[in-house]
A and B are shown apart, each in its own frame.
Chain A
Amino acid sequence: MQDAERIAAQAVERHRREPSQLLQILIETQDGIGHLPAASLTRIADLLELPRARVEGVAGFYSFLHTEPVGRYRVLFSDNIIDRMLGSRGLMESLCRRLEVAPGEVSAGGEASVDTTSCTGMGDQGPAILVNGLAVTRLDEARIERIASLVRAGTPVAEWPAEYFRIDDNIRRRGALLGEDFVPGAALQAAMARGRQGWLEEMRISGLRGRGGAGFTTAVKWMACRDAPGADKVVVCNADEGEPGTFKDRVLLASQAERIFEGMTLAAWATGARQGLLYLRGEYRYLLKHLRAVLALRRAAGLLGARILGEGGFDFDIDIHLGAGAYVCGEETALLESLEGKRGTPRIRPPFPVTHGYLGRPTVVNNVETLAKTTLIALQGGAAFAATGTPQSTGTKLLSISGDCAYPGVYEYPFGVTIEHVLEDCGAHDPQVVQVGGASGVTIAGHEFHRRIAFEDVPTAGAFMVFDGRRDPFEMARNFVHFFAHESCGFCTPCRVGTALLKGYMDKLASGKGAKMDLADIEWLDRLLKNASHCGLGSSAPNPVIDTLIKFRPAYERRLVSLDFKPAFDLDAALETARRMTGRDDPAAHLDWREEV
């Protein structure tokens, strides 16, 4: 235990006893110990002069933090529907059998724990797992067998075959962003030559809208931040790409980090910010080393730090913060809370981050792809950027394509491309359903494949999951409902309870106990989630259910027994305790269902 306290104290000191670094401190403490024992939380609280309960509150919020012991090898199977279609459930059973451990538990000797986690962003090369936080892709039975023996032999993860940790970019179609070489600093030079106001004008002309899903006009956000009172402005890059089925930001972070950091610096030029933060989802932790190396290169080249490119008064630098498994932190105000070392609970808006953001300072929060795109605008001008796409959705969009298609990967298209065009390119035979925009997105049925990817028709943050005729839309929706119930932060009543109830109804239907009344309750819950939720997680959680109920209702109806009401539990089994207590087991002590029906 003294060791645990020492490791915790070292982590606190590395972060200069700064309470806003609490999440980073907890992550590093766990790295050193394996989990977060009670004594380590007490020590961290003492040193940061925070109430211990607050530290415990943060530790309990994030999926990748453990206050109870876990295995020396922690294996987490990505549980998105796409991983499942690729056989993840069977592989997980196989690994559990080989390691003699039950899902969600720790093996007898404490060597391994195996569980599921939300989509890890490897849909193009699944099934995927995280082993002690690092991504392993392209699992099959042979690889599982080998992993089991590595675990049993106690081989450190660092000595596992490098091939297991290979992550391919799988870029299948290149447009303006992915197709052109980029010289670090060139975009910045071009924007600085225009002056701060001139650069913002180009941004305005470009019509660039946020690529994270909401589609807010980037120039408007930047101007609002610039005009907000307060000198200490902040630029935040949201690299918490947690939407099931999306992975395009992973590819950008791996292959276009220069453009992303340059985009952040361009935002700083426009707004006058001096501090930059990139919030990297915990699942992409393997990219941390690479990203830090790029930051070091940029500092050495005078593209970050004091007097950028020799310009007096243009000082800006970037830090990277790690997430720890919380989808809700993709919501910008929850992300800010998390950056401040708190539970990732979305804030009340207004006020908006542009005036009251990180630590109450004016803050721009932009998605990875949005920031990368700004380098194109700086180099080519706003008008050239706006020449592609549609009038309301300018430029290109990266799609993360996975599921039942021959060529999963990242595709860059001008906005306005039709879904059937995309399906043809990715080699989708017999597509039945396309889920655009991830679990919170839109379910597209065959008769709608003529629709277009654009903010004004089918908007998307980038996920594009293809399901062919063998798949069951109900099971897709059920998988997403489980996802939302797991990821709800629990702040507001409708989302906390509503997603858990919805999961119960979907499971009831799946187990063959559904009744007509359940469909009415499901539709009522959908409405409450939509209307009363505090943030976008809750209000979009029912989307897959609403859409599949409209477009694939038979997938629900064939699961109903022909009753108005059927309980979720077995009435006769519930009488078992009473039978045992009275020592009876005669026919009259049992319910006869055939007569009841």
Chain B
Amino acid sequence: MGGTFLFDGRPVPFEEGQTILQAARAAGHYIPHLCWHPDFPPHGSCKLCIVKVGGRHVSSCALPARDGMEVESNTPEINGERRALLQMLFVEGNHFCPSCEKSGNCQLQALAYELDMSSARFAHFYPDRPVDASHPDVLLDFNRCIFCELCVRASRDVDHKGVFALTGRGIRKHLVVNAESGRLADTDFAVSDRAADICPVGVILHKRVGFAVPIGERKYDEASISIVAMEKGE
């Protein structure tokens, strides 16, 4: 039993079981997201997809749509909060876009442009996170991890390998790989894994292709993330 809800004042139809985000996208409305991916169940950790329903904040990726809901999404209030969440993600890791080979293909960077984030606002944490270059085909740069767990989920649920997991707690939470040595080379990870191409930021990087496409000609250099996400179904 589906129905219709109002999304920023416009009617959006939905089918039984669809979340607010799914139904909004199907109707052509973009909602910012980082940990959500169309091929995976909702995760609900990044909180970029928050919307207001009846005055309450909810994660639109996880909440099933209901008939007659009034959803606020693209408002100065919600976008201001989304911008602050992005600022939090920027200051907790080490994100230096000008020297990052993911620049232009990075969803975090693209969303920061989309939501007019012009400064980090908060004090940087500058965590010490060593990189792992052990694997012949893939480099892991943990400095940019935003804990979306897409690699964890892809490796577990699609590749059936369980190469990645999170350990630690709170601000000390971090990504680890499935080896006693802690080195990616000692896991059964392969560059053809789904998990190798799922990272929305610049943690999982393929070696030897870093600048094959020059900065300035990349995915989000051509069009904003709100357009790319809808056109390419990402």
- Selecting from A51-59, A216-224, A581-589, the interface stretch reads A51-59
B91 in the interface, Cβ–Cβ < 8 Å?
A: yes
B213 in the interface, Cβ–Cβ < 8 Å?
A: no
Min distance, Cβ B175 to any Cβ of chain A, angstroms: 9
**CB-defined contacts of B162 to chain A, threshold 8 Å:** 50-51, 53-54
Q: A501-B88, A534-B47 are in contact. Are A53 and B147 (CB under 8 A)?
A: no
Cross-chain contact of A326 among B50, B125, B169 (Cβ < 8 A): B169
Min distance, Cβ B179 to any Cβ of chain A, angstroms: 7
Which residues between 23 and 70 of chain A lie within 8 Å of chain B, taking CB atoms?
Answer: 38-39, 41-42, 50-54, 56-63
**CB-defined contacts of A51 to chain B, threshold 8 Å:** 156, 161-163, 165, 178
- A491 vs B171: C-alpha distance when bound (angstroms): 10
CB pair A488–B122 under 8 Å, yes or no, is: no
Nearest CB in chain B to that of A350: its residue: B64
Q: A51-B162, A521-B122, A534-B44 are in contact. Are A56 and B170 (CB under 8 A)?
A: no
Min distance, Cβ B16 to any Cβ of chain A, angstroms: 14
Q: A53-B164, A531-B50, A532-B81 are in contact. Are A486 and B170 (CB under 8 A)?
A: yes
A372 in the interface, Cβ–Cβ < 8 Å?
A: no
Nearest CB in chain B to that of A499: its residue: B170
- A39 vs B62: C-alpha distance when bound (angstroms): 38
CB pair B171–A500 under 8 Å, yes or no, is: yes
Q: A53-B176, A53-B177, A534-B44 are in contact. Are A496 and B165 (CB under 8 A)?
A: no
CB pair A528–B84 under 8 Å, yes or no, is: yes
Nearest CB in chain A to that of B77: its residue: A531
B13 in the interface, Cβ–Cβ < 8 Å?
A: no
- A496 vs B88: C-alpha distance when bound (angstroms): 9
**CB-defined contacts of A501 to chain B, threshold 8 Å:** 88, 91, 122-123
Q: A51-B162, A51-B165, A53-B162 are in contact. Are A496 and B171 (CB under 8 A)?
A: yes
Min distance, Cβ B101 to any Cβ of chain A, angstroms: 24
CB pair B170–A487 under 8 Å, yes or no, is: yes
Nearest CB in chain B to that of A503: its residue: B171
CB pair B176–A57 under 8 Å, yes or no, is: yes
A343 in the interface, Cβ–Cβ < 8 Å?
A: yes
Which residues between 80 and 103 of chain B lie within 8 Å of chain A, taking CB atoms?
Answer: 81, 84-85, 88-89, 91-92
B167 in the interface, Cβ–Cβ < 8 Å?
A: yes
Nearest CB in chain A to that of B161: its residue: A51
**CB-defined contacts of B180 to chain A, threshold 8 Å:** 38-39, 41-42, 52
A191 in the interface, Cβ–Cβ < 8 Å?
A: no
**CB-defined contacts of B163 to chain A, threshold 8 Å:** 51, 53
CB pair A496–B173 under 8 Å, yes or no, is: yes
B166 in the interface, Cβ–Cβ < 8 Å?
A: yes
Q: A39-B180, A57-B176 are in contact. Are A531 and B81 (CB under 8 A)?
A: yes
CB pair A490–B85 under 8 Å, yes or no, is: no
Q: A490-B172, A500-B125, A532-B81 are in contact. Are A56 and B45 (CB under 8 A)?
A: no
CB pair B85–A528 under 8 Å, yes or no, is: yes
B130 in the interface, Cβ–Cβ < 8 Å?
A: no
Nearest CB in chain A to that of B168: its residue: A60
Cross-chain contact of A497 among B42, B88, B167 (Cβ < 8 A): B88
Q: A493-B45, A494-B47 are in contact. Are A528 and B168 (CB under 8 A)?
A: no
Which residues between 12 and 46 of chain B lie within 8 Å of chain A, taking CB atoms?
Answer: 42, 44-46
Q: How large is the interface on B (under 10, 10 to 19, 20 to 34, 35 or more residues)?
A: 35 or more
A485 in the interface, Cβ–Cβ < 8 Å?
A: yes
**CB-defined contacts of B88 to chain A, threshold 8 Å:** 493-494, 497-498, 501
B218 in the interface, Cβ–Cβ < 8 Å?
A: no
Taken residue by residue from 339 to 350, chain A's Cβ proximity to chain B (1 for < 8 Å, 0 otherwise) reads as: 000010000101
A524 in the interface, Cβ–Cβ < 8 Å?
A: yes
Chief secondary structure at chain A's binding surface = helix
Min distance, Cβ B85 to any Cβ of chain A, angstroms: 5
CB pair B170–A488 under 8 Å, yes or no, is: yes
Q: How large is the interface on A (under 10, 10 to 19, 20 to 34, 35 or more residues)?
A: 35 or more
A568 in the interface, Cβ–Cβ < 8 Å?
A: yes
Nearest CB in chain A to that of B179: its residue: A52
Nearest CB in chain A to that of B85: its residue: A493
- A160 vs B56: C-alpha distance when bound (angstroms): 54
B129 in the interface, Cβ–Cβ < 8 Å?
A: no
CB pair B167–A56 under 8 Å, yes or no, is: yes
B10 in the interface, Cβ–Cβ < 8 Å?
A: no
CB pair B179–A488 under 8 Å, yes or no, is: no
Min distance, Cβ B215 to any Cβ of chain A, angstroms: 27
- A496 vs B42: C-alpha distance when bound (angstroms): 19
A489 in the interface, Cβ–Cβ < 8 Å?
A: yes
CB pair B89–A493 under 8 Å, yes or no, is: yes
- A99 vs B96: C-alpha distance when bound (angstroms): 44
CB pair A500–B44 under 8 Å, yes or no, is: no
- A501 vs B90: C-alpha distance when bound (angstroms): 13
**CB-defined contacts of A504 to chain B, threshold 8 Å:** 123
**CB-defined contacts of A60 to chain B, threshold 8 Å:** 167-169, 176
CB pair A485–B81 under 8 Å, yes or no, is: no
Interface centre among B46, B62, B85 (most CB of A within 10 A): B85
A417 in the interface, Cβ–Cβ < 8 Å?
A: no
- A494 vs B122: C-alpha distance when bound (angstroms): 13
A492 in the interface, Cβ–Cβ < 8 Å?
A: yes
- A416 vs B30: C-alpha distance when bound (angstroms): 49
B207 in the interface, Cβ–Cβ < 8 Å?
A: no
Which residues between 470 and 526 of chain A lie within 8 Å of chain B, taking CB atoms?
Answer: 485-494, 496-501, 504, 521, 524
Nearest CB in chain A to that of B173: its residue: A490
- A489 vs B172: C-alpha distance when bound (angstroms): 9
Q: A52-B178, A501-B122 are in contact. Are A490 and B170 (CB under 8 A)?
A: yes
Interface centre among B125, B169, B179 (most CB of A within 10 A): B169
Cross-chain contact of A485 among B85, B146, B170, B179 (Cβ < 8 A): B170
**CB-defined contacts of B57 to chain A, threshold 8 Å:** 531-532
Nearest CB in chain A to that of B178: its residue: A53
Which residues between 337 and 369 of chain A lie within 8 Å of chain B, taking CB atoms?
Answer: 343, 348, 350
- A38 vs B180: C-alpha distance when bound (angstroms): 6
Cross-chain contact of B42 among A57, A348, A528 (Cβ < 8 A): A348
Taken residue by residue from 128 to 161, chain B's Cβ proximity to chain A (1 for < 8 Å, 0 otherwise) reads as: 0000000000000000001100000000100001
Nearest CB in chain A to that of B90: its residue: A497
**CB-defined contacts of A497 to chain B, threshold 8 Å:** 88-89, 91-92, 171
- A166 vs B192: C-alpha distance when bound (angstroms): 60
Q: A39-B180, A528-B85, A532-B85 are in contact. Are A490 and B165 (CB under 8 A)?
A: no
- A38 vs B166: C-alpha distance when bound (angstroms): 16
Min distance, Cβ A163 to any Cβ of chain B, angstroms: 35
Min distance, Cβ A1 to any Cβ of chain B, angstroms: 11
Q: A53-B177, A57-B176 are in contact. Are A490 and B168 (CB under 8 A)?
A: yes
CB pair A485–B171 under 8 Å, yes or no, is: yes
CB pair A488–B169 under 8 Å, yes or no, is: yes
- A39 vs B84: C-alpha distance when bound (angstroms): 42
* Seed contacts A52-B178, A56-B176; 19 additional CB < 8 Å A-B pairs: A39-B180, A52-B179, A53-B164, A53-B178, A53-B179, A348-B44, A485-B170, A486-B170, A490-B168, A490-B171, A491-B147, A493-B89, A494-B47, A494-B88, A497-B91, A501-B91, A501-B122, A534-B44, A534-B47
Chain B interface (Cβ within 8 Å of chain A)? 42, 44-48, 50, 57, 59, 62, 64, 81, 84-85, 88-89, 91-92, 121-123, 125, 146-147, 156, 161-173, 176-180
The 5 closest A-B pairs by CB, nearest first: A51-B162, A60-B167, A53-B165, A490-B173, A497-B88
A-B contact pairs, 12 of them (CB 8 A): A41-B180, A50-B162, A53-B167, A56-B165, A59-B167, A326-B169, A350-B64, A490-B173, A497-B92, A501-B123, A532-B85, A534-B45
